[in-house]
């Protein structure tokens, strides 16, 4: 049985869990535990921005609708350059994306996002780092445009 506060990255995660734990790690050290897999995440209590993991983001569509979601990186979450994936959680739907500093590309199964939300883009993304990590680094903020391009924004 999966341990408490563990969630599958590619399945809906309760908003309360994302709100209460803003930093997450892949639970690599727990693979093999019944109910967990290589996509299981757990709260990051280590406070290290350089660890592979995720941080909760506030995603705001142009129409004002908000989603608590996750961005992450294999090399940490210290800057936009580090981020390589994003998950948007909307009810029972998970939208999955690959990120680079310039683009946001929908993963297989999420291609309809840009069509479905065309009128609600750009989307503002704000990854809150202060208060989660012991850092003076600024929060990461950027916008995702309707064509999938990313524009960095001031924190």
Please report, in tens digits, the pLDDT of each residue of the chain (155 residues total). 567 899 999 999 999 999 888 889 988 888 888 888 888 999 988 777 888 899 999 999 999 999 989 999 988 888 889 999 999 998 899 999 999 989 999 999 899 999 999 999 999 999 877 777 766 667 889 999 999 999 987 54
Record the pTM.
0.89
Report angle CA 122, 124, 128 to the nearest 5 degrees: 165
Q: Which domain holds residue 30?
A: 7-153
Residue whose C-alpha is closest to residue 77's, from 38, 133, 125: 133
What whole-number distance in Å separates Cα of residue 73 and Cα of residue 150? 16
Backbone angles phi, psi at 19, to 5 degrees: -75, -35
Residue whose C-alpha is closest to residue 24's, from 3, 53, 50: 53
In a domain, 101, yes or no: yes
Contact assessment for residue 49 and residue 129, using Cβ atoms and an 8 Å cutoff: yes
In a domain, 71, yes or no: yes
In a domain, 1, yes or no: no
> Cis peptide before 122, with omega less than 30 degrees from 0?
yes
The CB density around residue 103, as the number of other CB atoms within 10 Å, is 14
- Per-residue pLDDT at 155: 45
* Total number of domains in the chain: 1
Show the DSSP H helices in 21-76 as ranges. Answer: none
């Amino acid at each position: 049985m999966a341990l408490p506060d563990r969630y599958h990255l590619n399945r809906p995660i309760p908003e309360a869990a994302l709100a209460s734990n803003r930093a997450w790690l892949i639970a690599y050290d727990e693979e093999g535990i019944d109910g967990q897999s290589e996509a299981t995440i757990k709260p990051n209590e280590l406070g290290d921005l350089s660890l592979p993991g995720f941080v909760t983001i506030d995603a705001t569509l142009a129409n004002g609708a908000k989603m608590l979601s996750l961005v992450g990186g294999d090399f940490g979450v210290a800057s936009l350059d580090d981020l390589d994936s994003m998950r948007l959680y909307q009810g029972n739907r998970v939208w999955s994306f690959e990120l680079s500093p310039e683009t946001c590309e929908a993963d297989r199964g999420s291609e309809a996002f840009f069509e479905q939300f065309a009128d609600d883009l750009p989307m503002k993304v704000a990854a809150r780092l202060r208060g989660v990590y012991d850092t003076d680094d600024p929060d990461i903020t950027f916008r995702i445009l309707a064509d999938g391009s990313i524009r960095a924004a001031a924190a």
